[in-house]
């Protein structure tokens, strides 16, 4: 028989539960053991099925149950003790509290805890299994964070962007799917073998810089961000994809002046790229709690007309761009007309509006400007 210490960690399933025929559970770091009434001991090294009969006592490790000895048979057979039941319970809880995309949120968390990037990578049979104690604790803890409206990207500490999986940390701005289109527009404009010198203003997580460095193997990027955490995160993501040697990054603002690290950069860069703060100040209060409570407000607030930083970037361009160089901007859908009018009133900058590309909803989102040089 088991020693007393082992028995103290087990649950006794009584004979009255003889109608229970099978119990599924997952492998933990140790082997599973089962002993029937005849004293025979079995070890299961992967997924196991335990057949429970009316003969003798059946002993199972306690860690595979979500609570102490169940009060009745319903507690044992309830679907809520399975991984699938846990997922459904949290989805309902998030829905009732008005958390958006509750199903996708729980799926991402469950997949993360079970060691997968995507929920569809999990075998469907896993939903019928009992979680280990640690798996349940982790799912509960992370879902509680989502209940407080923390973005899933921060909860699981990573998110996919194009063909990369980037590290995510609050309060650094989380790249949106629109920005993937933005990067694609830029990469389609240049030859892949060009030796581009790229300047990014407001690098955030490094999604754009790292993408461009990977797309153009001979290119170099100089990036700026006012948030120290963003500079550090960009460095981490650049190192993850081994492009850090072609990246220079500075914790400095470009607002109202030329940064000291660009003072001697006349005609140095082929292009400026930026996904700047472009939310209209009056629209900030209407943002989701996920954004207001957790993301860096400075990365969102574009001022009264959402273009404060955009105008600073345009004013910087004659100091750093080669004549004929482009400025690529992700903007609000209203900024296309605003920029056209503003550039007409600032002809001394020698910057012209070229075009505006649509996002996936066919709204004008990505603006292309050009520094034409002295005329």
The per-residue pLDDT for 255 is: 79
Contact 368, 354 (CB under 8 A): yes
pLDDT of residue 256: 67
Across 75-93, average pLDDT: 78
Q: How far apart are CA 331 and CA 340, in angstroms?
A: 13
Residue 300 has pLDDT above 90, yes or no: yes
Res. 263 pLDDT band, cuts 50 70 90: confident
The terminus-to-terminus CA distance of the chain in angstroms comes to 94
In the predicted model, is pLDDT for residue 14 greater than 70?
A: no
Q: Give the angle subtended at the CA of 329 by the CAs of 323 and 334, to the nearest 5°.
A: 125
> Which CATH architecture fits 158-371?
3-Layer(aba) Sandwich (3.40)
pLDDT of residue 365: 97
The ranges assigned to domains in the chain are: 4-70, 83-148, 158-371
pLDDT digits (tens, 9 = 90+) for 35-59: 333 333 333 333 333 433 333 334 4
- Which residues share a beta bridge with 368? 328, 355
The pLDDT-based confidence of 80 (bands split at 50, 70, 90) is low
- pLDDT score at 134: 96
List pLDDT tens digits, range 156-169.
999 999 999 999 99
For 85, how many CA atoms within 13 A lie in the half-sphere containing its CB?
A: 14
Question: Cβ distance 52 to 25 under 8 Å?
Answer: no
pTM summary value: 0.78
Average pLDDT score over residue span 337-346: 96
Closest CA to 135 of 88, 89, 83: 83
Pairing status of strand 48-51 against strand 22-25: antiparallel
Kindly report the average pLDDT of the chain as a whole number.
82
User: Residue 240 corresponds to which tokens in the numbers above?
Assistant: 């993850």
Distance CA 238, CA 206 (A): 7
Average pLDDT over residues 91-102: 96
State the average pLDDT over residues 79-97.
90
């Amino acid at each position: 028989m088991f020693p007393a210490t082992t028995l103290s960690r087990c649950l006794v399933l009584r004979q009255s539960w003889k109608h229970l025929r099978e119990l599924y559970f997952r492998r933990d770091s140790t082997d599973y053991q089962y002993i029937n009434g005849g004293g025979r001991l079995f070890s299961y090294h992967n997924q196991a099925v335990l057949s429970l009969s009316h003969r003798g006592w059946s002993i199972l490790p306690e860690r595979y149950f979500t609570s102490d000895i169940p009060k009745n048979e319903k507690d044992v057979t309830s679907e809520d003790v399975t991984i699938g039941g846990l997922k459904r319970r949290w989805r309902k809880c998030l829905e009732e509290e008005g958390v958006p995309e509750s199903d996708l949120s729980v799926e991402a968390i469950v997949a993360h805890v079970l060691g997968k990037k995507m929920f569809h990578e999990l075998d469907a049979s896993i939903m019928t299994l009992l979680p280990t104690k640690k798996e349940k604790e982790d799912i509960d803890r992370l879902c509680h964070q989502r209940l407080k409206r923390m973005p899933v990207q921060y909860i699981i500490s990573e998110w996919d962007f194009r063909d990369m999986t980037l590290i995510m940390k609050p309060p650094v701005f989380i790249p949106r799917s629109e920005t993937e289109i933005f990067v694609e527009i830029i990469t389609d404009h240049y030859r892949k073998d060009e030796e581009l010198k790229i300047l990014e203003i407001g690098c955030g997580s490094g999604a754009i810089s790292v993408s461009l460095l990977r797309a153009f193997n001979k290119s170099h990027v100089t990036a700026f961000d006012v948030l120290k955490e963003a500079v550090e995160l960009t460095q981490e993501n650049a190192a993850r994809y081994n492009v850090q040697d072609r990246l220079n990054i500075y914790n400095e603002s470009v607002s109202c002046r030329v940064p000291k690290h660009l003072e001697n950069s006349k005609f140095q860069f082929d292009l400026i790229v930026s996904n700047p703060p472009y939310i209209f100040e009056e629209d900030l209060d209407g943002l989701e709690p996920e954004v207001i409570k957790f993301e860096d407000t400075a990365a969102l607030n574009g001022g009264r007309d959402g273009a404060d930083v955009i105008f600073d970037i345009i004013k910087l361009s004659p100091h750093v761009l080669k004549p004929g160089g482009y400025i690529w901007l992700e903007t609000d859908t209203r900024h296309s007309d605003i920029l056209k009018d503003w550039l007409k009133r600032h002809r001394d900058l020698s910057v012209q509006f070229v075009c505006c590309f649509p996002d996936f909803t066919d709204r004008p989102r990505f603006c292309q400007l050009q520094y034409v040089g002295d005329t």
